[in-house]
Structure 1
Amino acid sequence: MADIPPQSPPPGAAADWTVPQNWGHYTPEEHATWDRLFARQAKLLPGRASDAWLRGLDVLRLSRPGIPDFEELSERLMKLTGWQVVAVPGLVPDDVFFDHMANRRFVAGNFIRRPDQLDYLQEPDVFHDVFGHVPMLADPVFADYLVAYGKGGQRALGLHSLRYLARLYWYTVEFGLIAEPEGLRIYGAGIVSSYAESRFALDDPSPNRIAFDLARVMRTEYRIDDFQQNYFVIPSFDDLLRVTVETDFAPLYEAIKHRPDIPVAELLPEDEVLTRGTQAYALAKADH
């Protein structure tokens, strides 16, 4: 994460760090920013986003335009997968995050970026959290995967292995690709909520696209401030859920601890490489 949250709830937050969304306090400009971002991404993503994400997009088409009201959104999600969306003031401690996730509560920031920040914002806002993540919460299999991840996070804290599990979240929930019959598609929230990375992840020759392997992913470092140079491709959400539920993570963490981390953009001889990247983007950035 880019920042470390405080260790006690800020003023106005409940013990579980939730706060009222205060939907009525959003300004017309803030609602207009959401609508502008929504329209731009909704137009771009057909043919790029996974079938599951595109189906889930309908859950965001609520009774009024602008930033979704979390109560109305949660009512729709509860009927589909039992999830709800709760507002938080920003980043929350890991144990709080995992407890919410394990209990089908998705934490979302209740602020939205400024109009001059449409293309990049370091801290997740309501557009990233809701537009990026919530459509996948409407998919029963992926919704179960997130519950399993939340429970796994609680165990990882006790095993002092959170950094390995964090990489799994990064390369699936945030920046994951899936192989569908029509070709590679995106489902990670960090990609679908980004106009630039929605194109880069699928179209650019620079990054590597590698078949998903759990241990490999958990050894792989990542960038929080730029496009990814390795994307991992799952064969299906059923496979992702299965490997998460069936794997005993404790011995896996122990094995990984004795192996070196894998740098960003590096390929291994044993990788199943679907697209070998040119790394042109990273090299051009390095030259500057």
Structure 2
Amino acid sequence: METKMSTASDDFVIPQDWDHYTSEDHQTWDTLYARLKSVLPDRAVPGYLEALDDLGLGDGGVPDFSPLSDRLEERTGWRIVAVPGLVPDEVFFRHLANRRFPAGNFIRRPDQLDYIQEPDVFHDVFGHVPHLADPVFADYMQAYGEAGLKSLNSGRLKNLAALYWYTVEFGLISTPEGLRIYGAGIISSPAESVFALDSPSPHRVAYETERVMRTAYRIDDFQQIYFVIESFEDLLQKTLETDFGPLYQRLTGGYDHTPADILGGDQIITRGTQEYAARQDVTKAAAAD
């Protein structure tokens, strides 16, 4: 399905145009949904699968944002707004600060089931929206948006992006049953849902805000490091208690650590072998020659 960039307003909100999804689009959603639903039990954070069902995301086909937003708003005051793709930082932060989650209105092609470079409606809705039904995580997302708006002229947006990447997109959480997934980038990927918990390759390190914000990340493959939070409550509390002004003064505006680094102050849950990343880097280098 093609998006219509020209219809976007200043906040980049466009009609979802649900009636224009094709039968192939709906089949793509259903295929991805079935694959993930078979993988995520005992992997996703407790409450995620229940929210998935309660919000009706498995009712068949791409969800209609209007009734979905109504159900979500009843729980936490959030709504879903359709956008044509990635939006500017200020627009993104403002939506989050006002409890609006911007979701792409397009869906990947059938030949992109395993990977798509730009987040589509499946990633945005399947991966993110069930967490927004959790009151604590919903508050965290709003707090992140508010922090982002205050940081627009700080020169530290790269560091703030790393915070989002390693929590909202690729975060792990500790539970009495062991590590579980909550990051949307993992939850919406059948392969990384297994890799993030089972592979000996990546590091798994306890979350610490400044450590996370100083760490570079990969956008081209599975992560080399995952940061583990204790709970959504702890993540929210640490965010609200952080005085970002002095923190930004300590940061350089870039990244001080590679994803492969283990630091002396890290609380290491799993020290990874990094074999997967090394193998992939060799393969990519050979292909480039």
TM-score bin (small chain): over 0.9
Aligned to 1:269: 264
- Matched residue type, 1:95: E
Aligned to 1:185: 180
- Cα offset, 1:88, TM superposition: 0.3
Contact 1:59 1:73 in 2 (8 A): no
* Correspondence list, 1:130-279, <5 A: 130-257=125-252, 261-279=256-274
Contact 1:211 1:273 in 2 (8 A): yes
**In structure 2, distance between residues paired with 1:258 and 1:24:** 44
Secondary structure of the residue aligned to 1:86 is: strand
Contact 2:15 2:82 in 1 (8 A): yes
* Correspondence list, 1:21-32, <5 A: 21-32=16-27
**In structure 2, distance between residues paired with 1:89 and 1:259:** 29
**In structure 2, distance between residues paired with 1:141 and 1:188:** 15
- Cα offset, 1:183, TM superposition: 0.2
* Correspondence list, 1:32-111, <5 A: 32-61=27-56, 64-111=59-106
Secondary structure of the residue aligned to 1:210 is: strand
- Matched residue type, 1:49: A
**In structure 1, distance between residues paired with 2:118 and 2:220:** 10
- Matched residue type, 2:264: P
**In structure 2, distance between residues paired with 1:155 and 1:94:** 12
1:15 equivalent in alignment to 2:10: yes
Contact 1:34 1:67 in 2 (8 A): yes
Secondary structure of the residue aligned to 2:82 is: strand
- Matched residue type, 2:16: Q
CA distances 1:22-68 after superposition (whole Å, capped 9, x unpaired):
10110011001100100110111010000132232124425941000
TM (normalized to structure 2)? Answer: 0.94
Equivalent pairs: percent with the same residue? 62
Contact 1:102 1:147 in 2 (8 A): yes
- Cα offset, 1:259, TM superposition: 9.0
Secondary structure of the residue aligned to 1:257 is: coil
**In structure 2, distance between residues paired with 1:115 and 1:141:** 35
Segments of 5+ residues of structure 1 without an aligned counterpart are: 1-8
Aligned to 1:118: 113
Segments of 5+ residues of structure 2 without an aligned counterpart are: 284-289
Contact 2:156 2:251 in 1 (8 A): no
- Matched residue type, 1:117: Q
**In structure 1, distance between residues paired with 2:54 and 2:68:** 7
**In structure 2, distance between residues paired with 1:140 and 1:155:** 23
TM (normalized to structure 1)? Answer: 0.94
- Matched residue type, 1:66: G
**In structure 1, distance between residues paired with 2:82 and 2:121:** 9
**In structure 2, distance between residues paired with 1:140 and 1:277:** 33
Q: Between 73-82 and 247-256, report the one with greater CA deviation.
A: 247-256
- Matched residue type, 2:34: A
CA distances 1:93-127 after superposition (whole Å, capped 9, x unpaired):
11000000000000000000111110000000000
